[in-house]
Amino acid sequence: MGPIDDLSALRIERAPLPPERRWGKWAAWLVLLAAVGLGVWYWASRERPLEVEVATATTRAAGAQASVLNASGYVTARRRATVSSKVTGKVIEVNVEEGMAVREGQVLARLDDATVRATLALARAQRDAAIRSVPEIEVRLAEAGLTLSRRERLRADGLVTDAELDQARAEVNSLRARLAAAREQVTVAERQVALQETALDDTIIRAPFGGVAISKDAQPGEMVSPVSAGGGFTRTGISTIVDMTSLEIEVDVNESYINRVTPGQAVSAVLDAYPDWQIPARVITMVPTADRQKATVLVRIAFDPSTRSGSPGASFGDDALDPRILPDMGVKVTFLREAEDAGLAARRPVALVPRAAVRTEAGASYVFVVQQETVQRRAIQTAGTDGDRLEVTAGLNGGERIVVTPPDGLVEGSRIVIR
Q: 372: Cβ–Cβ under 8 A, 6 or more apart, which residues?
A: none
pTM attached to this predicted model: 0.60
Predicted confidence at residue 3, as pLDDT, reads 53
Give the three-state DSSP class for 318: coil
CATH 2.60.120.10 fits 67-78+243-340, yes or no: no
SS3 state at 309: coil
Is the alpha carbon torsion for 281, 286, 291, 294 positive or negative?
positive
Q: Which residues contact 186 (CB under 8 A, 6 or more apart)?
A: 127, 130, 131, 134
pLDDT in the model for residue 90: 92
Which amino acid makes up residue 347?
A: R
Give domain limits for the chain: 51-63+343-418, 67-78+243-340, 80-111+204-242, 114-201
Per-residue pLDDT tens listing for the chain (419 residues): 455 555 555 555 555 555 555 556 667 777 777 777 776 665 555 557 878 888 888 776 665 666 778 899 999 999 999 999 888 899 999 999 998 999 999 999 999 999 999 999 999 999 999 999 899 889 988 988 898 888 888 888 888 888 888 888 898 899 899 999 999 999 999 999 999 999 999 999 999 999 999 999 889 999 888 876 555 567 888 999 999 989 999 999 999 989 989 999 999 899 999 988 889 999 999 999 999 999 999 999 999 887 765 444 444 445 668 888 999 999 999 898 775 554 544 567 777 888 888 888 888 888 888 888 888 888 888 877 766 777 787 888 888 888 888 888 788 888 888 87
Q: Which residues contact 36 (CB under 8 A, 6 or more apart)?
A: none
Side chain identity, residue 282: R
- Intra-chain end-to-end CA distance of the chain, in Å: 81
- Compute the distance between CA of residue 367 and CA of residue 377 in angstroms, rounded to an integer: 6
Does domain 51-63+343-418 fall under CATH 3.30.2130.30? My reply is: no
CATH class for the region spanning 80-111+204-242:
mainly beta
* CA distance readout (Å), 268 to 38, 72, 229, 352, 417: 63, 11, 46, 18, 38
Rounded Cα distance between 74 and 247, Å, is 10
Nearest to 353 by CA among 328, 319, 384: 384
How many contiguous H segments (helices) and E segments (strands) does the chain have? Answer: 5, 24
Q: Compute the CA torsion angle 381, 384, 385, 390 (nearest 10 deg).
A: 0
